[in-house]
Amino acid sequence: MLHLISYTERNKSATLCTPSSTRSSYQTLSDRGRHHETMRHRSNLLRVLTLLLTAVGITLASQIGDGAAKVVAAEQIRFQLQHDRVIIKYGKQPLATYVFQDSKTPRPYFAHVFAPNGEQVTRHHPPRPGQDAPDHATFHPGIWMAFGDINGQDYWRLKARVEHAGFIDSPSNHLGHASFSVRNRYWNEAGEEIVCSEVAKYTFQALHSDDSSRTPTGFLLYWDSTFASSTGTFSFGDQEEMGLGIRVATPITVTHGGQIRNRDGLINEKQVWGKMSAWCDYSGLVGNHRIGMTLMPDPANFRRCWYHARDYGFCAANPFGRNAFTRGKKSKITVANGASLKLRFGILLHAQPKDEPRRDLDLAYRVYLEQLKNKELAPPSGK
């Protein structure tokens, strides 16, 4: 049994100043030394200015390994808040819908998610009769996080509900960050008490392959959830149906010619199911483009993820199901009263012409990790 007593965020702040003890030593430098120090400070100033320009919408180029990807500040991403959902667009093009009130699916989710070329990459919600498989119609709305067992309560199969308790940070595009954060309450199945609460922040960025490209090659959705309770301990159980899930559009399912692929080169349900990997992609051809979604767990999560992958169009990144996937020792992740558990994921929405070589998804994964390391994503302002 793993007990989480406390949680400390990594590198929560950074100081852009020179310690006084270092400044005093500058007085003894030779003229040449002073010149070198002056040039170094100018270089540092340029780095700071670059970060500031990025924050107001200038493209930040991230050189990673042998390739280069450009993370574009999300100045074209816009939100429209309605009474039960948030409509998300890139320019005039639909990007996704975040639904926070739905009597049939009583937990928040993203539906009608689109790849950069304008094709829908998630299954229609609800499924279209005669066009989409009708299975798990309310369980699999598009992109969601859910758990089949928290203190014995089942949120995956909708036996217990997750209540949207409000926005901590309203949907906005501020200083180049298109994001919003919410507070959710996990009620028990009887609806009489709260098992735990969740603070979730969602941030969107666009990826361009070069300065001349007008259409992004991908969108990155950063998912940052923290679970806690001030009234008692709670535990995450061991099931297949735990974690971050996606349900892809019907044309890109394996049963319609699509493909599941993980970082280690394993392919489709038979090879991918129950295996750990740094990322897992689900993609296929729609018209003249290959479109898809890639699940990328943060390696700083408490445990690596196994993948619950199905050829019919479903995949989930699950760090809880040790026994469910390996028949090993049953996992029970207990969060103490006043402590917290953080889960972070990246979801890449991508598209490319079908006649081009397959893009390097490992590069997108490294971009995701680099952004986390550089603290491009601020934590929610609420507690």
Q: What pLDDT is attached to residue 376?
A: 53
Higher pLDDT, 138 or 71: 138
Tell me if 147 sits within 8 A of 174, measured CB to CB. Answer: no
- Read off the pLDDT of each residue in 253-268 and give the average, rounded to a whole number: 98
Tell me if 206 sits within 8 A of 312, measured CB to CB. Answer: no
d(CA 196, CA 358): 42
Among 40-49, 341-350, 373-382, whose mean pLDDT is lowest? 40-49
Question: Strands across the sheet with 85-90, in order?
Answer: 77-81, 85-90, 93-99, 109-111, 143-147, 242-247, 314-318, 306-310
Specify the residue for token string 């099931």: 239
Q: What pLDDT is attached to residue 272?
A: 98
d(CA 98, CA 77): 14
- pLDDT, tens digit, 9 for 90 and up, residues 346-371: 999 999 999 999 989 999 999 999 98
Bridge partners of 271, per DSSP, are none
Q: Give the closest residue to 108 by CA, choosing from 163, 47, 170.
A: 163
Specify the residue for token string 């007008």: 214
- Read off the pLDDT of each residue in 30-48 and give the average, rounded to a whole number: 46
Tell me if 258 sits within 8 A of 283, measured CB to CB. Answer: yes
User: How high does pLDDT run on average in the chain?
Assistant: 84
Question: pLDDT band at 215, cuts 50/70/90?
Answer: confident
d(CA 281, CA 356): 17
β-strand pairing of 218-228 with 314-318: unpaired
Residue 354 tokens read as 């079908």
Question: pLDDT band at 176, cuts 50/70/90?
Answer: low
Q: What pLDDT is attached to residue 237?
A: 98
Task: Kindly list the distances between the CA atom of residue 199 and the CA atoms of 203, 217, 247, 321, 383, in Å, as whole numbers in the listed order.
Answer: 13, 30, 23, 23, 8
Tell me if 306 sits within 8 A of 366, measured CB to CB. Answer: no
* pTM for the predicted model, two decimal places: 0.82
Residue 84 tokens read as 């039960």
Question: pLDDT band at 121, cuts 50/70/90?
Answer: very high
